[in-house]
Chain A
Amino acid sequence: MEIQVWQIIALTILSMILIWDSLSTAIFDGKPMFAGILAGIIMGDITTGLAVGATLQLMVLGVGTYGGSSMPDYLTGAIVGTVFAVTSGQGVEFGIGLAVPVGLLMVNLDVLARFCNVFFAKRVEAAIDRLDYPGIKRNIWFGMIPWGLSRALPVFIMLIFGEDIVNAIVNHMPEWLTGGLSVAGGLLPAVGIAILLRYLPVKKYISFLLLGFFLAAYLSVPMVGVAIFGVAMAVIEFKKSVNGNQVVAAANAGGLQEGLLDGEYED
């Protein structure tokens, strides 16, 4: 399928809107899940967009860009991956195989955008010295430009020139690479999960990690079912920690009484 001019323009604008949204209103929160779906809608193939977005989403679970660290940009990766999965007709795995290197390359542009904004921040400070309010406002909003361009330019360039390159890759890609990439597609979510486990106090709640695994692996409980179980446990934990002291005291008293009862039975 050939990509249309209006689709290139729409996808370029989409990449800008999604990065701006992730910085402010965050309803799509910069997540590849939504980027894949929206790119799929523009390309007229929601199923492929949904699948590309979902798989990339699993890879980045728990990866946030807080504290200013740059993460691989699978938001842009999902857009480009979805487009090429549709235009090449090679399917979802192929799209993901492209989205990953694109996401990794895009880190550099994210860093560049954050550097460019140092320049505008300096101009804001200069405007403060002059007490020039229009200047302050103008330079604050100029900050949107590096952010927007850092996504829109590469997407535009890849969509304009990418097709020949993509076709060349498709025709010459050996089996060990395509097969290897689909194995990687299955394994990569492990990275997202492991990053997440590094963030969370796993040692404190290790029993719940095991319970979640047990429910899914042995009992084949679907994810929503596991979440319901988790909510039930979370409510108990919440109540326990809100009146932590009373509960601890009560538990100690209970334990003492139980101990006495045990003793009686043994006699």
Chain B
Amino acid sequence: MENMKTNETKLTKNDINRVSRRWIMGSQITWNYEKQMAVGYLWAMLPIIRKLYKDPEQQKDMLKTHVQFFNTTPHMGGFICGIDAATEEHEGYKAKETVRGLKTGLMGPFAGVGDTLFGVLFPTIFGSIAAYMGQEGSMVGAIIWLLVNIAILVLRTFTAGIGYREGSKIITSAKDKLDALTAAATLLGITVVGALVATVVKANVTATFTSGEITVAGQDILNQIMPCLVPAAFVGFIYWLLGRKKMTSTKAIILVMVLAILLHVVGILG
């Protein structure tokens, strides 16, 4: 009993690993419009709360603290759980306000980096390679992408541990490198997208121009101006369209489908 009492506020490596696993499995399971990932965060921290707070009223209060609005990139949330666990281990119940501030203060910056990296850039870079190879009948790109996703999953299991060790220092100490990494990854993403415009958007111009006895295929004229002119112009058009008010990606998709049918019917594209 004596030993248990002196150890009762210490977290073990095992506790932190549990937080990591629980965050990965549960962060979005009860995602809802009201509090988004709040319930997932609670799920991740549940064993920590039960271990650190013995007074039922304190427990209840901390459970409520952890079921407030929360939303970040699932890949990055582990860091925040780790930082939170370190703070609560050292400061205990009186850190309630600090924890609340940490959570809301960190979820934005982590989401900023995480959404760009894991929501946009990784799927773009590996997704476009996989899709490009897939259209040619090769699975290699998809397998590479799958392996990358598995590697990311393995790395995610370390996030809570890193957050726990570095505590709240992490965001300041790693900030320069994170920014640089985001900038470099963005550059890579944009280069790939430039190539995508030329390769994956397909528009076959079937219109021909007749002048006297000479018939010229529209596609040949366009190719002389610039290869992939129509795809590039079309991407530009959609880009402009998406910048307009009340335009959503879903509306744009419907519009493209209608436009494609019309252009096909009048014989411009085939």
The stretch among B89-97, B98-106, B172-180, B214-222 that forms the contact with chain A is B172-180
Q: Which residues 98-152 of A sit at the B interface, judged by CB distance below 8 A?
A: 100, 104, 107, 114-118, 120-121, 124-125, 128-129, 131, 133, 136-137, 139-144, 147
Q: How far is the CB of B33 from chain A (nearest CB, A)?
A: 5
Q: How far is the CB of B106 from chain A (nearest CB, A)?
A: 16
The stretch among A3-11, A56-64, A165-173, A252-260 that forms the contact with chain B is A56-64
Asked if A196 contacts B203 (CB within 8 A), the reply is no
Which range holds the interface residue count of chain B?
35 or more
Query: How many A residues touch B, CB cutoff 8 Å?
Result: 108
Q: Which residues 183-219 of A sit at the B interface, judged by CB distance below 8 A?
A: 183-191, 193-202, 205, 208-218
Q: How far is the CB of B209 from chain A (nearest CB, A)?
A: 20
Asked if A118 contacts B150 (CB within 8 A), the reply is no
- Contact (A200, B190) CB under 8 Å given A63-B249, A184-B261: yes
Cβ proximity bits B245-260 to A, threshold 8 Å, 1 near / 0 not: 0000110111011011
A265 on the B face (CB < 8 A): no
Tell me whether chain B's interface is mostly helix, strand or loop, or mixed.
helix
Q: Which residues 230-270 of B sit at the A interface, judged by CB distance below 8 A?
A: 231-232, 234-235, 238-239, 241-243, 249-250, 252-254, 256-257, 259-265, 269-270
Cβ proximity bits B28-41 to A, threshold 8 Å, 1 near / 0 not: 11111111101110
A95 on the B face (CB < 8 A): no
Q: How far is the CB of B22 from chain A (nearest CB, A)?
A: 10
Asked if B71 contacts A68 (CB within 8 A), the reply is yes
A residues adjacent to B (C-beta < 8 A):
23-29, 31, 33-34, 36-37, 46-47, 50-51, 53-55, 57-59, 61-64, 66-68, 71-72, 100, 104, 107, 114-118, 120-121, 124-125, 128-129, 131, 133, 136-137, 139-144, 147, 176-177, 179-181, 183-191, 193-202, 205, 208-218, 221, 223-224, 226-227, 229-231, 233-235, 237-238, 241-242, 244
